[in-house]
Amino acid sequence: MVEIPASLRAAGVVQVAAYALPLSRRFRGTMVREGMLLQGPSGWGEWAPFPEYADAAGAAWLAAGLEASTGRWPDPVRAQVTVNAIVPALPPLEAAEFALAAFVESGCTTIKVKVSEVGGSTVDDLERLTAVRDALPGHVKLRADANGAWTVDAALSAMWLFADLDLEYVEQPCASLDECAALRAKRPPGLIAVDEGLRLAVDPASRQTRDDVRRAADVAVVKVPPLGGVRSALDIAIGLDMPVVVSGALDSSVGLSAGIALAAALPEQPYAAGLATGRLLSTDVTATPVVPRHGQLHVERHVPDPEALAASAMEPERQLWWQDRLARCAALLADRAGTGSLDRPGETIVLPSSRTVVLPVEDPAHSSPPRFSGPADAARWSV
């Protein structure tokens, strides 16, 4: 059993379980996804900051896990969320096969393709994108994610190279918001989305970040764990006042519930959400993995299955590492005032799947997520 830090116990957490899930294929250099599940009065939450992340980032992720297990998510305004499939940076033929299988199995009509892999060129990216485009029916939408790999000039060239592919957008073409803004000022052929530029900002909820993101991009990607929870991510999304895409973080099926809750609570869902990442995991903590049908995920919470959880147990020394890390991040989080995620302990989450309600809009000023600085190689894990 994992020891529960006192501050988490005080917030209502009654159980913590560690898991290690093998990936179905090597993803950015690793074959395993590790994390922890927290159980509290509201249900199960996930805490799975990537191993190389600093404790400051881990504390933001913990706020999200605590909200899920002891807090209350906003009410949904839709019963299903549309999701996209994701294709790793594979050679063209493999990428096309992967994309076609994902399209057939999931029914997703939006496919995100990873580009700008280390050692690859934009011509490789073009060949991959073209192979995927040619393998799929014409109505399937494509988007590309560069994880900030390009300079402004390289991104401009790449976007012109991809111009005939009619991409929905190119995600994080350059590393910084300033570079993305400079690229956007050059009027590339297509839309720009930012992902890391928002979630790694010093204060993602600040007016400054909001203005910078609006300047840099046409679309913003919002992820629950780094933004400190569903409520703070929703506040940030609404505050941005621009189209947003909800995306996951290679979560287990329990963790995906939070992304689903965010996508379900947004006033509008103009773009498919990046929550169909279940295919990247070989096993899961739930009895059945959360995978889309007809390109959609049902809006509901997913709970761990005792047998699946037992089968996903970590090696003892890894579990100790995670336990120590949890204690440090819990202490950091407890030290912070006004995280907005610990002020609703004990409330029961009601997340009906078929009820339409008026979305409660809160003042973002009262719900800013914890400040944190992201790791230099955050893109490594970005999905």
Residues serving a catalytic function are 114, 223
Judged by CB under 5 A, the residue of 39, 277, 286, 382 near Mg ion is 382
Subset of 178-197 contacting Mg ion (CB under 5 A): 195
Nearer to Mg ion, 249 or 334 (CB): 249
116 binds Mg ion (CB under 5 A): no
Q: Kindly report each contact of residues 356-364 with a partner whose C-beta sits within 8 Å and lies 24 or more positions away, as own/partner.
A: 356/77, 356/78, 357/75, 357/76, 357/77, 358/77, 359/74, 359/75, 359/77, 359/265, 359/266, 359/267, 360/74, 360/75, 361/238, 362/231, 362/235, 364/205, 364/235, 364/236, 364/238, 364/239
Q: How far is the CB of 171 from Mg ion (least distance, A)?
A: 5
Nearer to Mg ion, 118 or 358 (CB): 118
Q: How far is the CB of 131 from Mg ion (least distance, A)?
A: 21
168 binds Mg ion (CB under 5 A): no
Q: Kindly report each contact of residues 31-34 with a partner whose C-beta sits within 8 Å and lies 24 or more positions away, as own/partner.
A: 33/250, 33/252, 33/281, 34/314, 34/318, 34/322
Residues in the chain: 383
Q: How far is the CB of 150 from Mg ion (least distance, A)?
A: 13
Cβ distance 17 to 36 under 8 Å?
A: yes
194 vs 379: CA distance, rounded Å? 12
Q: How far is the CB of 174 from Mg ion (least distance, A)?
A: 13
Q: Residue 192: which H helix or E strand, with range? A: strand 192-194
Nearer to Mg ion, 198 or 299 (CB): 198
133 vs 131: CA distance, rounded Å? 5
Reading the block at residue 89, the tokens are 């940076």
Phi-psi region of 187 (alpha: psi -120 to 50; beta: other; left: phi over 0): left
Reading the block at residue 98, the tokens are 């992967």
145 binds Mg ion (CB under 5 A): yes
Q: How far is the CB of 383 from Mg ion (least distance, A)?
A: 7
Binding-site size, Mg ion (CB under 5 A): 4
Cβ distance 373 to 54 under 8 Å?
A: yes
Reading the block at residue 2, the tokens are 């994992």
Nearer to Mg ion, 145 or 168 (CB): 145
Q: Which residue is nearest to Mg ion (CB)?
A: 195
CB neighbours (10 Å) of residue 59? 25
CA 182 to chain CA mean position, Å: 26
Nearer to Mg ion, 145 or 284 (CB): 145
Nearer to Mg ion, 145 or 251 (CB): 145
The residue ranges that bind Mg ion (CB under 5 A) are 145, 171, 195, 382
